[in-house]
Structure 1
Amino acid sequence: MLSGLAWLALEVKYLDPAQAFYAETLDLPVRERGANELAFAAGDTDLVLRRPEGVPRGGLHTHYAFSIPESEYDAWWDRLGEEYDLEEMQFGSARSLYLYDPDGNCVELGQQDVAGPGIDGIFEVVLEVEDLDRSRAFYEDLGFETVDVGDARKRVRLHGPMALELWEPHLGIADARGGVHVDLGFATDDPAAALEAIGDRVRSVEREGDDEVVVRDPDGHFLTFTSA
């Protein structure tokens, strides 16, 4: 139903330090800059940074993960480790490093099967939710598949256009937290079908058209379904 992650939007207090972090520290190209919003190209996905001037605001303290080629990991570690106190985790044969951006978002760079060079996509986003079972059912109806449930039942991991983790409030790896009021855009061939699948459980329908549907999920996260 959903074919790709079109964008992830984060809230930032000031655009200039955020731009310095993402453009200079992480080498992301700027795709567009406005008075209150800045968009970077992270592979085929946009990372949008937005000052809190309106709605949707973008996510606060969001944990999410960039894809990097396996062969580049050590170079990223050496480079970022000069300035940041990095943490590392291993998942099977893949390694990930963790650091924080100027606005308190936990940024992961993880080894993935991508071409690069540099950051080439977003492969995971973590949302904070109030009711794990309710949110899990909601996203499963959008085509996500549950692949892991945390031992303490504080989190669920789903696979779809990217990995989606749903966390009840707690601190995770690197003391990360799930994002609140996150704004996600999904590519789909049929926005109306996406709305039909979950329309009776959304908090609100913000906009409904032939090419784009915007809703708020049960926890207030903004979801846009846009024609691929």
Structure 2
Amino acid sequence: MLTGLRWLALEVKYLDRAQSFYESFLDLEPVRESETDAVLAAGDTDLVLRRPEGVPRGGLHTHYAFSTPFEEYDRWWDRLSESFDLVEHQFGDAKSLYFYDVAGNCVEIGQRDTDGQGITGIFEIVLEVADLDRAESFYRALGMEVMGRGDERSRVRLTAGPFDLELWEPQLGLADGRGGVHVDLGFETADPEAAADAVADEARSVQTVTDGVRVVDPDGHRLTFR
């Protein structure tokens, strides 16, 4: 049902500092800018940096992952290790590095089978939830499938194919990352109304907006279907 990730929005206090961080360290190019937000291109996904001046707000302390081709990873490690105390983890034959941005978000760069150079997209976002079973049911109604579960702590990983969501009850994860709160996400789907209908009974609200249908999930995350 969900065929792509259109945007991830992060809340930042100081827009100029956050924008400079992502442009300088990760080579993300601006798509548009205003006094209240800046949109940067992360492959085909928009990274939205937003001051807390309205609703929806962006996510706070959100752990999420950028994709990069396998052959690009060492270049990122060498470059970023000059400025950050990086943490690294191995997942099968793929590696990921972790560090923090100026707003306290845990940023991951992971090796993926992807074309292009540099940052090619966002492939994972972690959401904090109060009730894991309820949250899992909500996102499975959108066609997401379970990939795995945490052995010791309450978390589950779901996939829509092009991207994954991890749902965590409050906890610290790898590199002390946390799930984001009041995260604002945009999704591609062939039928926005059908996606909204699939979760309407469990959603806090459903609203038609200029660019699609917006749903607020039981934990206050805002999802826009386009």
Q: Report the TM range for the smaller structure's normalisation.
A: over 0.9
- 1:39 equivalent in structure 2: 39
| Pair 1:209–1:56, CA change in 2 (3 A) | closer
CA distance in 2, matches of 1:150, 1:213: 32
Listed one character per residue, the Cα deviations across residues 91-149 of structure 1 (whole Å, up to 9, x for unaligned) are 00000000000000000000001112100000000000000000001000101000101
CA distance in 2, matches of 1:117, 1:148: 29
**Overall identity of the aligned pairs, in %:** 65
1:209 shift after superposition: 6.0
CA distance in 2, matches of 1:113, 1:27: 20
* Secondary structure at 1:197 match in 2: helix
Q: Counterpart amino acid of 1:62?
A: T
CA RMSD of aligned residues (A): 1.1
The 10-residue stretch of structure 1 (99-108 or 143-152) with the greater mean CA deviation from structure 2? 143-152
| Pair 1:200–1:46, CA change in 2 (3 A) | same
Matched, 1:174 2:167: no
| Pair 1:184–1:210, CA change in 2 (3 A) | closer
Preserved CA contact (<8 Å) 1:13 1:51: yes
| Pair 1:154–1:93, CA change in 2 (3 A) | same
1:210 shift after superposition: 9.2
TM-score for the superposition, normalised by structure 1: 0.97
- 1:7 equivalent in structure 2: 7
Preserved CA contact (<8 Å) 1:67 1:123: yes
Runs of 4+ in 1 over 6 A off after TM superposition: none
- 2:56 equivalent in structure 1: 56
TM-score for the superposition, normalised by structure 2: 0.97
Q: Counterpart amino acid of 2:194?
A: A
CA distance in 1, matches of 2:156, 2:216: 20
- 1:131 equivalent in structure 2: 131
Q: Counterpart amino acid of 2:181?
A: V
Structure 2: which 5+ residue stretches go unaligned?
none
CA distance in 2, matches of 1:172, 1:224: 27
- 1:188 equivalent in structure 2: 189
CA distance in 2, matches of 1:211, 1:46: 14
1:196 shift after superposition: 1.2
Q: Counterpart amino acid of 1:195?
A: A
Preserved CA contact (<8 Å) 1:191 1:210: no
1:189 shift after superposition: 1.2
1:153 shift after superposition: 4.3
Listed one character per residue, the Cα deviations across residues 64-108 of structure 1 (whole Å, up to 9, x for unaligned) are 000001001111101000010000000000000000000000000
- 2:217 equivalent in structure 1: 217
* Secondary structure at 1:214 match in 2: strand
How many residues align? The count is 225
Structure 1: which 5+ residue stretches go unaligned?
none
1:204 shift after superposition: 1.1
CA distance in 1, matches of 2:114, 2:27: 16
